Amino acid sequence: MKVVVTGATGQLGAATADAWEAAGHDVIRFTRCDLDITDYAAVRRVIGAAAPDVIINCAADNRVDAAESSPLPPLAVNALAVGSLARLSADLDATLVHYSTDFVFDGETDRPYLETDLPNPRSVYAMTKSLGEMLAVDAPRHYVLRVESLFGGKTGGSSIDRLWAALSSGQPVRAFSDRVVSPSFVDDVVLATHRLVERQAPAGLYHCVNTGHATWFEVIDHLRQLGGYPRSLLSALRAADTNVPAPRPLFAALSNSKLLRAGIVMPTWQDAVAQFVSKRWRG
Ligand SMILES: NC(=O)c1ccc[n+]([C@@H]2O[C@H](COP(=O)([O-])OP(=O)(O)OC[C@H]3O[C@@H](n4cnc5c(N)ncnc54)[C@H](OP(=O)(O)O)[C@@H]3O)[C@@H](O)[C@H]2O)c1
């Protein structure tokens, strides 16, 4: 298949392009320099000329806090540009893959969210991502995959990567004991995406997270133990102790049961963290 990947230097974009190429597909990578997805005319001209079978949109403006005071850039990238990619996908008869986030939920629950639960975004960033989900459906063959706390890409910029780097160099770290997450290991997200597209699973919205959920503290403690680092390096932090412009959902666990019904088994978050550690040790 001919596959276009936007945001190809990002954490997910780079891993996606590498994996689809390794699987023998004809991959065209677009970085922001090559193609700004908010330039609708250029998107139509450049991607239209490539005539791909699949467009995988990994481009996003993830500056969650900056979005509160500067909403237009994330609105353009996370929402309006998705609408133009969706309409283009429809015209080209291409499959559109787009990624969203757990932040579309308010976090005021006590059981993992399902795809049928209604979003209630609490921040500007979350609103732009929620709008992007709505606009993606203009592509008849769309997969909107909600991921969460992505980690383990080559860029190494995720929270888990940064905490791992700190632990590895003997620095103390703090992790939230009252924020619940279902993290998404990049390699597992890439594989799940590939399977959905190749098997032509029903189009729609899927939660693409590792199986299970835990507090950030539990996730980082697991990471610490796998690394053999002392317990004294880790201490607990509560959301109320921090002062950030954008509110985050407290209980943000997502259920991946719909993905499972499509025949795609996501490893547990503990297995994913173990895979991450062995990947980092291999260098
Ligand atoms: N990271 C997470 O924890 C997380 C959590 C939930 C959902 N997600 C979603 O998962 C997807 C992948 O995230 P990620 O972590 O891989 O993000 P990332 O590492 O920040 O990569 C985003 C990429 O998009 C590019 N980009 C930004 N604006 C663009 C534009 N106008 N035109 C073209 N490219 C543009 C960036 O280029 P530059 O580097 O040049 O800016 C970057 O390469 C996104 O949809 C994100 O919202 C991520």
Choice from 6, 32, 104 to test ligand 1 binding pocket (greatest atom count within 8 A of CB): 32
How many residues in total does the chain contain? 283
Q: For residue 151, is it within any domain?
A: yes
Q: What is the CATH number of the domain that holds 45?
A: 3.40.50.720
| Among 29, 33, 37, 24, CA closest to 12 | 29
The atom of ligand 1 lying closest to the CA of 102 is: 6
Q: How confident is the model at residue 283 (pLDDT cuts 50, 70, 90)?
A: confident
Q: For residue 226, is it within any domain?
A: no
Please count the structural domains in the chain. 1
Q: For residue 134, is it within any domain?
A: yes
Q: For residue 167, is it within any domain?
A: no
147-180 tens-digit pLDDT: 999 999 998 889 999 999 999 999 999 999 999 9
Q: For residue 126, is it within any domain?
A: yes
For 198-216, the DSSP string reads: HTTPPPEEEE---BS-EEH
| Among 282, 280, 162, CA closest to 220 | 162
Q: What is the pLDDT of residue 282?
A: 81
Q: For residue 160, is it within any domain?
A: no
Give the pairing of strands 180-181 and 214-215: antiparallel
Give CA–CA dist 149/214, Å, rounded.
12
CA of 137 relative to ligand 1 center, distance in Å: 20
Q: How confident is the model at residue 5 (pLDDT cuts 50, 70, 90)?
A: very high
Q: How confident is the model at residue 119 (pLDDT cuts 50, 70, 90)?
A: very high
Q: For residue 23, is it within any domain?
A: yes
Q: What is the pLDDT of residue 169?
A: 96
Nearest CA to ligand 1 atom 31: 36
Q: What is the pLDDT of residue 281?
A: 85
The atom of ligand 1 lying closest to the CA of 38 is: 31
73-113 tens-digit pLDDT: 999 999 999 999 999 999 999 999 999 999 999 999 999 99
Q: What is the pLDDT of residue 155?
A: 81
Nearest CA to ligand 1 atom 46: 60
Q: For residue 217, is it within any domain?
A: no
Give the residues surrounding ligand 1 with Cβ less than 6 Å away: 6-7, 9-13, 32, 36-38, 58-62, 77, 99, 101, 147-150, 155, 158
Give CA–CA dist 76/82, Å, rounded.
9
220-254 tens-digit pLDDT: 999 999 999 999 999 999 999 999 999 999 999 99
pTM: 0.98
For residue 273, pLDDT beyond 80: yes
Tell me the C-alpha to C-alpha distance, in Å, between residue 212 and each of 49, 254, 256, 265, 267: 42, 8, 9, 12, 9
67, two tokens: 């979005």
CA of 103 relative to ligand 1 center, distance in Å: 15
Provide the angle, in degrees to the nearest 10, between the axes of the packed helices 269-282 and 186-198.
110
Question: Which domain does 90 fall in, by range?
Answer: 2-155+183-210
